[in-house]
């Protein structure tokens, strides 16, 4: 995943502020080039504690529902907005609303990584940690993204479980 981010991430230092929705433990987003302010939103305290241990430059973690946070964000509040393995944890109408709000809040770049179609997942993460927010509720498709986005498909990303979608838009 980090190689996909690095492939589209601007190297000219133009992305100074980053909103990382469902940031988890910053497994892919810590230390992205040029970022001075990295705001991570996650409802699961344990992940935020792990994120702080990584000591990512400029990181601030907020324990909050991303939908509530987005409602209060001004237009173009952050240079970049990311949601890595996030929107599939919401019902389709909420997931599509989150995508629209990401576009509204981002000034320069929006990036999403999600499942390709529905992949069943219960309330445990890949390390076996119980997290009630881990359950998948929706399976995004290519046409879930606006036509203005670049959408790449990785059919075997999750092995036998299914594929992934990497979608992004420069503004």
Task: Tell me the per-residue pLDDT of 115-144, one tens digit each, with 9 for 90 and over.
Answer: 999 999 999 988 898 999 999 999 999 999
Q: To which H or E segment does residue 3 belong?
A: helix 2-8
Give the separation between CA 168 and CA 110, rounded to whole angstroms: 5
The CATH number assigned to the domain holding 43 equals 3.40.50.150
Give yes or no for residue 1 having a pLDDT over 90.
no
Number of domains in the chain: 1
Confidence of residue 159 (pLDDT cuts 50, 70, 90): confident
Where helices occur in 33-125 by DSSP H, the ranges are 45-53, 66-72, 92-105
Asked whether 163 and 154 are in contact (CB, 8 A), the reply is yes
Confidence of residue 156 (pLDDT cuts 50, 70, 90): confident
Work out the average pLDDT over 99-123: 96
The reported pLDDT for the residue numbered 93 is 98
N- to C-terminal Cα separation, the chain: 22
pLDDT of residue 157: 84
pTM (2 d.p.) = 0.95
The mean pLDDT value for 79-97 works out to 97
Task: Identify the band that residue 39 occupies on the pLDDT scale cut at 50, 70 and 90.
Answer: very high
**Span 94-115, mean pLDDT?**
98
Distance (Å, rounded) from C-alpha 12 to C-alpha 9? 9
Owning domain of residue 96: 2-170
């Amino acid at each position: 995943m980090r190689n996909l981010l690095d492939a589209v991430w601007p190297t000219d230092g133009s992305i100074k502020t980053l909103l990382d929705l469902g940031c988890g433990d910053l497994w892919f987003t810590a230390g992205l080039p040029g970022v001075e302010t990295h705001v991570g939103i996650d409802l699961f305290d344990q992940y935020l504690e792990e994120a702080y241990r990584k000591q990512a430059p400029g990181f601030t973690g907020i324990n909050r529902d991303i939908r509530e946070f987005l409602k209060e964000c001004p237009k173009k509040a952050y240079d970049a907005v990311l949601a890595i393995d996030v929107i599939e944890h919401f019902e389709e109408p909420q997931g599509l609303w989150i995508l629209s709000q990401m576009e509204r809040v981002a000034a320069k770049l929006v990036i999403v990584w999600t499942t390709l179609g529905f992949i069943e997942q219960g309330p445990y993460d890949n390390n076996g940690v119980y997290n009630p927010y881990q359950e998948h509720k929706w399976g995004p498709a290519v046409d879930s993204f606006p036509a203005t986005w670049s959408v790449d498909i990785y059919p075997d990303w999750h092995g036998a479980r299914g594929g992934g979608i990497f979608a992004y838009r420069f503004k």
